[in-house]
Structures are given as C-alpha cells and as structure tokens.
Chains A and B, each alone.
Chain A
C-alpha cells in the first residue's frame, strides 16, 4: 500500500516541477468530419491535434487566420468553441509482426475481436519514399500462382503493378490469389526448414468497400490458411472519408516496417479509385480549390507519393522490398480517364482485365495486348523465361490471325498451326479462382505446350488434359517437379527427364 502512495507522490512531484507550455485553439466550425480552428499558431502540417475525450484530428490546411483539420473517429461530440491542443506528434500506426493475422482499422486498432495488438513500434503514416541511393532494381520474383501473369506479365519484388479493369472482372481475385500463393510458399519453406527462402508477407488494404465483401475476403484468406501471413487494413464504405483517405498510407507504413527490416512485403490497395474519391471529398470540405472532375490539384501527388514508397532496397540498406499491387476500377473500360491514366503513369506496368474476355469464359480475363510489366522480366526465373519467352508473341499473332480465321477462308498450314497453338495457350491460361499453381508446375505445363505435346489434344479437352497432367506430375513425378523448383533452369538433362515423363503420360492416357 505504501508503495502505491509513494508512486502517486512521485507522480505528483513530477507534475509540480514541469510547467508545460501548450498551444491551444478553439473550434470555430465543425461538420463533415472537418473542423476549422482559430488559434493554434504553432501547429505543424500533418500534426495530430487533441480534441479531448480521446478524439484526435490531423492538421491539413494551415491558413492565414485559421486551420483546417480532419477528425479521426467520431466527430459528433465536438462542439463549437471547444478547446483543441497541439501534440507535437505526427499521425502514426503500430507496425511489426504482431499485426500479422489481424484485421485493423486506419489507426491500427483491432477490428477482429482477437484482443489488443501488443505492438511496441510505431511508424508515421506519411513518410518520404526511399531515395535513389537506397534502391536497386528488382531481381526476385513475386510468384502470383496465376499462370498468365507469371508467364507473360511477371512481377518482381519491389515492383508496382497496377491491376485495372471494370467492375466484377476479377481484380480483387488476382490480389487474393497472390496472397494465397505466397502464404502457401511461406508455409512450405517454414515446414521444410528452408532458411534461404525469403517469405513474402501481405497487406490487404480495403478502401471504401462493402463490409460484406471485406468479410468475404477475410473468410477466403482464413479458409486457405493465408491470414497468418497477412494484415488486413479496413476503411469500409461506412467509415469516414478521412479514414478512407489515410488507410493506404497506414497500410504502407506497416509494409515499410518489413522492408526496413530486410524482409519482403506485398501490399494490395483495393482500390485507389475510391481512395481518390474519398480524398476529393476531404479536399472539397476543406475548401481546397478543385480541378479536373472536381479532384484537387494534388491528386496525382497523392498517388505518386504513396506508390513511390514501394521499393527494392539494396543490400547495404537491408535488402528488403515492398511490392505494390494497386487496383483501379474503370468505367466502361475507359483506361484514359483521369485517375486511371495517373496511376498507369506512376506504376511499372499494368494488368488489364476485360469484361468481354470474362464473359467469354477466359478467366482470369487478362488482356494480353494491353497488359505489360516494365521491369518484372528481370526477376523471372530462368526456367520460366525459357518456356514463356515466345508465348506473348504467339498469343499476339494468334489474336491477329483469329480475326481472319472467322471468315472461314482456307488457311495455309503454318497459319493453322499458329491458330491451333494460340487456342491451346488460351485454354491453358484459364484458371479457377483461389487455386494458384506452383511455378514448377507452370513451367512443366508450358514446356509441354512449347514442345508440341498438346498439338494432338482437341481444344475442348485441353483443360482436362492439363488437370490430368497436373495430377500425374504431382503424384508420380514429384521429384522431377522438386528438381525443377530447385534448379530453376531447364538444362538438357532436365529437358530429357521432362520429355520422358510426358511421353510416359501420353502413353498412359492414349
């Protein structure tokens, strides 16, 4: 008991000695999650402001006679004339491995009912991106487990690859598939005790989405065992525009922690169109001048400063990386709208999903012509380069020739062969959702296509052939796949082994 009294005594003694100067202001106007405050002459840009009762704000507009601040959390209790204090701190969120497997809001507070997060480290939400000295070019792949992407539009660790398409074309699914595949790889490496493998942790940032969709994503991640390697940051449609505006930056800060500590992380911003809309709302209620489509003038800088924070650091700075997969939703396939063109120009390539392909049953509905990866091929494993090098060209030729073939005119043998090959490749790339394919299997299947093992299989049976081949390889030729995964290159003896395995399979199924 006396101990407790002494502690209180010490606390009181500490309080009596220091007379702190505080900078205060008064709320002049409040509404729409934005307050205008008089006074606060010492406030800094992006500083946290204390409104009392645990409500915090963020100073965004420093004007001549007053200050515009956005309020984080519930603003209904704030009244005109109320006192506001500066805190001298920037907005920060908890970071670290403690957040893996958790669902948090923009401020890093748990939403999943699994108790408090015991994080000891905090990172500022806004941070300047790593400079040129710290960076290096990408050289390690992100295996998405989606054949069409890994073969034709490869993504490297530290890259920013945009996923763009109309509503319901499978944009989120691509991101979720990538998370699931990497969780599978992480777990496999953990179980095998492979210390050489660099695990890829994922962060999924849901911005302005329906709660039901977010719940569904979390359920899928949980069912596929991917949640323990994932942080989900949620700013749902019912959350304030201010928290939707800050959510990607909070998620990015969490990812940066992994990068700064020599680890690899992947962040998915789903989606940045809604983020731009939320930012437009915040800017308009702050009375900032509006520009094209009523977006504020700095909407480009908003996304560029966010995406620039994804990087591959060089060995001197820990060798970590942060890969970003921003998602943009287009209207009626219009990629030349304001926000899509902005984000396309910032990222290192895009994966364009088309509604037409989606309804033709080509899923994932990746448009090969419009999708590119500007830096990812440097990170592709050699075996994949060997088998997939010509595929993009083959498919482009096929699309061109397929238009002619519709007229039913007589075609020469070479053209017919090209069309037949193209049709089979399209079939091979069809893949159901949440079923990522390991890269060694992708290589084996594509090797079979390139070496004419599928030419005698009717197009409508290609998928079935592929499924049976997958089963055959995984059950009976597991050591061949393991060798492929280990060597990451098809040397002549491995090619011989693949040829023998495929011939055996063909004889079995004939």
Chain B
C-alpha cells in the first residue's frame, strides 16, 4: 500500500511527541496507538503503519544483540552491558543469544554497528585475505 504524504507527516509528528529526553516513551506509544484505534481519523491505517515502522527503526537503533557460542556468565553480561552503555549511551535493550556457529568469541550488534570478535568472523576475514 502506498502511503500518502499526509499520513507520513502525521505519523512523524506523533512519533516526535512520543520522545522524551531523546528517548522513546513506551507508554506514550501505546497511548497513541490506542487513540488511533478508537478515534479512527482519516487514513488511520496508513498512519499507524508508518508509525509502527518508525518505532521499529528506533527500537532497532537502540537494541543490542549479543551473540556468543556458549552461554555468558552473568558478571560478564554486566560488564558488557556497562561497556556498551558507555559507548552508545544509556537506554539500550539487550538481547543475549547463543549461536554455536560462531565457534567461539562474541559478536555484538548495536543498531547498525557490528563488533565481530567471533572465531567464525576471524576465519572468514582470514579466508578473504588469501
């Protein structure tokens, strides 16, 4: 479905109002969606869809995915979280997953930045050099 310019503009405005101190306020987001569903203004589906996309992009920017070959002990997780928060600012959402395909080490993705310290990544880089 093609979105109208009007819907985009409204969604962007709503999104801007959901931000408090440069961070997305979840309660406000929920309130906006509830209000959209009840009042049903003109083009509400398009607005909601674009709003959802903006929220999804923001969440992706503020989420940190930590992949490791083996489960990480809680203290290591703590240090990792604080180190990443120092670098990328507070308010990151952490997800820890296990990926045996990494063979060893860590692969961290924060927004569109990737820190690849896994054995698999190093092997791939080595293979590319030859």
Residues of chain B contacted by A23 (CB below 8 angstroms) = 112-114
Instruction: Please determine whether A65 and B114 come into contact, CB atoms closer than 8 angstroms.
Output: no
- Give Cα A23 to B112, complex, Å: 5
- Give Cα A12 to B119, complex, Å: 11
- Give Cα A65 to B56, complex, Å: 11
- Give Cα A20 to B118, complex, Å: 12
- Give Cα A15 to B125, complex, Å: 8
B54 within 8 A of A: yes
- Give Cα A24 to B122, complex, Å: 17
Instruction: Please determine whether A12 and B126 come into contact, CB atoms closer than 8 angstroms.
Output: yes
| A24: contacting residue among B57, B114, B126, CB under 8 A | B114
B15 CB to nearest chain A CB (Å) = 11
B81 within 8 A of A: no
Instruction: Please determine whether A41 and B114 come into contact, CB atoms closer than 8 angstroms.
Output: no
- Give Cα A366 to B117, complex, Å: 67
B80 CB to nearest chain A CB (Å) = 13
In the complex, chain A residues 20-37 whose Cβ is within 8 Å of any chain B Cβ: 20-25
| A42: contacting residue among B53, B112, B116, B125, CB under 8 A | B112
Residues of chain A contacted by B111 (CB below 8 angstroms) = 39, 41
1/0 contact string of B4-44 vs chain A (CB within 8 Å)? 00000000000000000000000000000000000000000
Q: A21-B113, A22-B116 are in contact. Are A65 and B57 (CB under 8 A)?
A: yes
Residues of chain B contacted by A38 (CB below 8 angstroms) = 57, 60
Instruction: Please determine whether B113 and A16 come into contact, CB atoms closer than 8 angstroms.
Output: no
Residues of chain A contacted by B113 (CB below 8 angstroms) = 21-24, 41-42
A128 within 8 A of B: no
Interface size on A, residues (CB 8 A): 17
Contact residues of A: prevailing secondary structure: mixed
Residues of chain B contacted by A24 (CB below 8 angstroms) = 109, 112-114
Residues of chain A contacted by B54 (CB below 8 angstroms) = 65
A360 within 8 A of B: no
Instruction: Please determine whether B122 and A25 come into contact, CB atoms closer than 8 angstroms.
Output: no
B126 CB to nearest chain A CB (Å) = 6
B115 within 8 A of A: yes
Residues of chain A contacted by B61 (CB below 8 angstroms) = 41
A307 within 8 A of B: no
Residues of chain B contacted by A12 (CB below 8 angstroms) = 122, 126
In the complex, chain A residues 39-56 whose Cβ is within 8 Å of any chain B Cβ: 39-42
A11 within 8 A of B: yes
| B112: contacting residue among A11, A15, A20, A39, CB under 8 A | A39
A133 within 8 A of B: no
| B115: contacting residue among A15, A21, A39, CB under 8 A | A21
B86 within 8 A of A: no
- Give Cα A40 to B61, complex, Å: 11
In the complex, chain B residues 44-60 whose Cβ is within 8 Å of any chain A Cβ: 53-54, 57, 60
A19 within 8 A of B: yes
Residues of chain B contacted by A65 (CB below 8 angstroms) = 53-54, 57
Instruction: Please determine whether A16 and B114 come into contact, CB atoms closer than 8 angstroms.
Output: no
In the complex, chain A residues 51-76 whose Cβ is within 8 Å of any chain B Cβ: 65
Residues of chain A contacted by B57 (CB below 8 angstroms) = 38, 65
Instruction: Please determine whether B112 and A19 come into contact, CB atoms closer than 8 angstroms.
Output: no
Residue of A nearest to B61 (CB): A41
Instruction: Please determine whether B116 and A15 come into contact, CB atoms closer than 8 angstroms.
Output: no
B56 CB to nearest chain A CB (Å) = 10
Q: A21-B115, A41-B61, A41-B112 are in contact. Are A11 and B53 (CB under 8 A)?
A: no
Q: A41-B61, A65-B57 are in contact. Are A21 and B114 (CB under 8 A)?
A: yes
1/0 contact string of A306-323 vs chain B (CB within 8 Å)? 000000000000000000
Instruction: Please determine whether A16 and B112 come into contact, CB atoms closer than 8 angstroms.
Output: no
Contacts A/B (CB < 8 Å), 29 sampled = A11-B126, A11-B129, A12-B122, A12-B126, A15-B122, A15-B125, A15-B126, A19-B116, A19-B117, A20-B116, A21-B113, A21-B114, A21-B115, A22-B114, A22-B115, A22-B116, A23-B112, A23-B113, A23-B114, A24-B112, A24-B113, A38-B57, A38-B60, A39-B60, A39-B111, A39-B112, A41-B112, A42-B113, A65-B53
8 further A-B pairs in the complex, CB-CB below 8 A; given A24-B112, A41-B113? A12-B122, A15-B122, A15-B126, A24-B109, A25-B112, A39-B60, A40-B112, A42-B112
Interface residues of chain A, those whose CB is within 8 Å of chain B, are: 11-12, 15-16, 19-25, 38-42, 65
